[in-house]
Amino acid sequence: MQTALSLKLYLIVSGMIFFMVGLLHFFRLLNHWQMVVGTCTVPRAVSFVGFPVAMAYAVWALLLLLRK
């Protein structure tokens, strides 16, 4: 019983984190925000890949949660 509850909690938390990361990528593309890590500027192409990947992981977590 403890393992099933831990798995549900893991899927909820990881799904929400991936969803929020996906939203941040989407808003970055929409609003042309710049992202700087250290002294390097991250190109917007990273968000073109990051948005669908993060959303796919969020949907995957939701599907696994609904299956359990």
Identify the burial level of 62 via C-beta atoms within 10 angstroms of its C-beta, where 0-12 means exposed, 13-18 middle and 19 or more buried: middle
pLDDT digits (tens, 9 = 90+) for 10-48: 999 999 999 999 999 999 999 999 999 999 999 999 999
Q: Name the more confident of 65 and 4.
A: 65
Where does the pLDDT of residue 3 fall: very low under 50, low under 70, confident under 90, or very high at 90 and above? confident
pLDDT of 68 reads: 66
Tally Cβ neighbours within 10 Å of residue 1. 5
Tokens of 53: 């990947």
pLDDT of 12 reads: 95
pLDDT of 5 reads: 83
Coil vs helix vs strand at 41: strand
